[in-house]
A and B are shown apart, each in its own frame.
Chain A
Amino acid sequence: MKKFSQLIKTLDGTNKTNVKVAALAEYFTNAPDQDKVWTIAILSHRRPPRPVNTTLLREWASELAHIPLWLFEESYHIVGDLAETIALVVPSDESSTDKSLSAFLQEMIWLKAQSDEDKKAYLYRNWKQLDYYGRFVFTKLITGGFRIGVSQKLMTRALAKATGIDEDILAYKLMGNWDPNTIDFQDLILEEKKSDYLSKPYPFYLAYALENEPESLGDVTEWSFEHKWDGIRAQIIVRNNELFTWSRGEELVTDKYPEFEVFIGRLPNGTVIDGEILPYPNKEIGTFNDLQTRIGRKNVSKALLKKTPVILKAYDLLEWQGEDIRTRPYSKRRNLLEKMVAGQDGIPLFLSEKMEFTSWQEVAEERELSREKRSEGLMFKRKDSPYLVGRKKGDWWKWKVDPLTIDAVLTYAMRGHGRRSNLFTDYTFALWNENEEGEKELVTFAKAYSGLTDAEFRKVDAWIKKNTLERFGPVRSVTPHHVFEIAFEGIAESKRHKSGVATRFPRILRWRKDKKIHEANSLEDLKALIPHTVETE
């Protein structure tokens, strides 16, 4: 497993994509074939089921480290990662000899069925023998979830580099259900199959954010406009009576959105549509919160499908009657798309409404309606533009709405993780509200832990340490004193939140040293920002 540990260490230690790809490609060239298969499985979330639950892992690790469980838990809280905490606190004699990654994973499959006593003995033996990083990786294999910034896309790129096989073909080969314990590298990756080419998507064309006043784009009638929907950008492919759904990360997500299967038979073979996957509960566009329940789920339950179905809002047509039409002007492609979607009743396929304006002023007014329509702003597309590859300036622009902001009072603080673990950098913010007795009180509405400079964090931290009211484990309540401007992208009503409001991507915009706490906003001010849902269909 040394090669695999070294790989994880390299991936974990860098933010540079090219370093990650090079390390993976090197690994996929030199590691034993079956270890490659397991590595692909692990990096594409196909690990074997967890053989030991984390409660037992914590108990046993604290026992082996000769520390009480509460102390282990405190350490875990500060370190922020269970496997890392275990690797740090348990003693080791580093006597291990190298065993392959696949051997370890087979042991873990075996381990699941063993008694607790045998599980404990197995863990003790391995924790003791492995060195620090080996212990970390070994424990991660048990707990699952390497967060090392390797998307399936990035892994596929490295695999393509190592094998010389086209990236999109590899992405297709890796989709669906395959078992790393029974398939070999030859069968999974190397063998050429005819069906591989059917799924191939086109590279997405991405818009730049508008840099100047829209007027600078010239004649408004040369442009088409659409709302910029806040979902998952996707391509839908129907070829040879098969459906493929690709997300913008160029990951194949066909299995995650089974509602699109009905497109087979309804859309002609040789069709590729560029669009946005959107949540559609109660037959209206939902919030990104709704979509979150679908993202990341491999197996979608019937109940979830019913509660949060998705639709595709179609933007553009890239392939028509088996022909690549990306070089035709946008207006022509749009016409073909509109004809194709027209009359398609009863399937989750809708057009993203195309708009035309006679003045830039009208464009600006439409943008103001974005939040109500559950969009992030507007898209501008030049009528005669081809569909380009990647992010290109000139023909497509996005004009997002400004973030929402509100002034809130700092009420609670928690230590950060890792290097920031001795600084209080995770904050809770509150807004004024009138309670039943008519008294004003502060009600929690959001947590935020980014947006200040290191120097500001240090200042706030020092202040918190001197102005703590109460301690609740890692959390401290502080004297209400400081006001911060909080920005967020979206807002929706929520029963799960005490305030009755959920905000999306809250972050600190700035420290309002000029404001006293009574000048902070109220919950009512916040609720006034919730858009009234309007019928969009």
Chain B
Amino acid sequence: MPMKKPLLEFTEKGIYCHAAKVYLDPWKPVDKAIITHGHADHSRWGHKQYITHPTNVPIIKHRLGDIEVAGKEWGETFTVNGVKFTLYPAGHIIGSSQVRVEHKGEIWVFTGDYKLENDGVATPYESIKCHTFITECTFGLPAFLWRPQKEVFKDINEWWAQNKSNGQTSVLFGYSLGKAQRLLKHLDPNIGKIYTHGAIENMTDVLRPMIDFPATERITRDTKKEDIKGHMVIAPPSAHGSTWIRRMVPFVTASASGWMAFRGARRRRAIDKGFVLSDHCDWPSLLEAIKEIGAEKVICTHGYTDIFSRYLRDLGYDARTEATQFEGENAELNVETEISESV
């Protein structure tokens, strides 16, 4: 008897469902791809057909141009070659989804990127029961423990107000899809005006029909230095150290990222202030998610996969690592370069 193929396999091109002939977030061009979210390491060029949550359709089109893409609502099951697929919210960024795959009674869930905290922009994560759980673990180390975003935004707004009273402009770095809008949503517009870099303004324009954001003003060649002074500027990380940023003088910079948990990260990047704010699960969230799902098997994709899966095995899970080309928060930083260069 031939060995039964697993429901989802890790292949050269990406995570593959043999029975349905469908790939999940593939990194090489394929015929049919289910896409979890709009970050560049998950939604790539060159597939013939894209299937994703309707929210992601304009995002992906904005990034990749005119592609063939079909929207599927959360909870709406669709069948491909007898395999049932359903998307559920992942809470990572706006539109981000997990993929539930069911075939002959066997259920797998692929998380894409996710976080448990409700950030007020992304539809919150839902826990989906399954037999095999494919999870990211970008921050799968006990050193990562996020504070509630309410506290972090209190710090961010206080920082802005303080800079303003010192006569300095605040420049806050966050990648243009996801982090930028999360920042925007929770900045206090009573402190001052919010200016944006073109890459961020363009992406936010795509999302405005779906989410209510405070007013922003795009920085152009005509924007005057005196107008910006004391206000907030949201910029992609690639703007750091560029000539573009010089027109903000006098300014102070801050970065909002999970990596800011490391003491040296901010100094190495020569950023004045670091806020620990991530769109990925921290250590306790990963453990909580896995416990709640009750999966028998766990497969760890990007992040500290070896360490995290070893710890899961210590806890008694059947856990292993699979190599993928997803890259966590770094990839999202790289996207910035692409986008800002094309604008």
Q: Which residues does A use to contact B, with CB under 8 Å?
A: 12-15, 65, 67-68, 70-72, 74-75, 78-81, 84-85, 88-89, 136, 417-423, 458, 465-466, 471
Contacts and interface: CB of A to CB of B under 8 A. Distances in A.
A153 to B, nearest CB: 20
Contacts of B265: 418-419
B267 A13 contact: yes
A64 to B, nearest CB: 11
A420 B142 CA distance: 17
Contacts of A72: 142
A81 B328 contact: no
B5 interface: no
A261 B334 CA distance: 59
A397 B70 CA distance: 70
28 contacts: A12-B263, A12-B267, A13-B272, A14-B272, A15-B267, A65-B142, A70-B310, A71-B142, A71-B311, A72-B142, A74-B141, A75-B142, A78-B141, A78-B143, A79-B143, A79-B262, A85-B143, A88-B144, A88-B261, A89-B142, A417-B264, A418-B264, A418-B265, A418-B268, A420-B268, A423-B330, A458-B334, A471-B306
B267 A67 contact: no
Report whether over half of chain A's contact residues are helix, strand or loop; otherwise say mixed. helix
Contacts of B330: 422-423, 458
A238 to B, nearest CB: 43
A339 to B, nearest CB: 51
Residue among A13, A80, A81, A465 having the largest count of chain B Cβ atoms under 10 Å:
A13
Q: Which of A15, A78, A422, A471 has the most CB of B within 10 A?
A: A422
B261 A419 contact: no
A436 to B, nearest CB: 37
A453 to B, nearest CB: 12
B142 A418 contact: no
Chain B interface, >50% SS class: helix
Interface string B112-125: 00000000000000
B323 A465 contact: yes
Interface string B228-272: 000000000000000000000000000000010111111111101
A65 B272 CA distance: 30
A74 B314 CA distance: 15
Which 9 pairs of residues, A with B, have the shortest CB-CB distance? A418-B264, A419-B265, A88-B143, A418-B262, A89-B142, A75-B143, A74-B307, A419-B259, A67-B142
A467 to B, nearest CB: 11
A136 B304 CA distance: 24
A450 B263 CA distance: 20
A494 to B, nearest CB: 30
A458 B273 CA distance: 24
Given A79-B262, A422-B330, A89 B143 contact: yes
Nearest to B303: A422
B333 to A, nearest CB: 10
Interface in B147-184: none
A310 B332 CA distance: 54
A228 to B, nearest CB: 32
Interface string B295-322: 0000000011011001100100000000
A458 B338 CA distance: 15
Nearest to B306: A471
Contacts of B130: none
Contacts of A79: 143, 262
A254 B263 CA distance: 35
B145 interface: yes
A84 B273 CA distance: 18
A109 B314 CA distance: 39
Given A78-B143, A79-B143, A85-B143, A419 B307 contact: no
A88 B145 contact: yes
A13 B274 CA distance: 10
A466 B12 CA distance: 11
Contacts of A136: 263
Contact of B266 (A13, A65, A422): A13
Contacts of A74: 141, 307
B141 A14 contact: no
A266 B315 CA distance: 73
Residue of B263, B306, B310, B323 with most partner-chain A CB within 10 A: B263
B325 to A, nearest CB: 8
Nearest to A149: B267
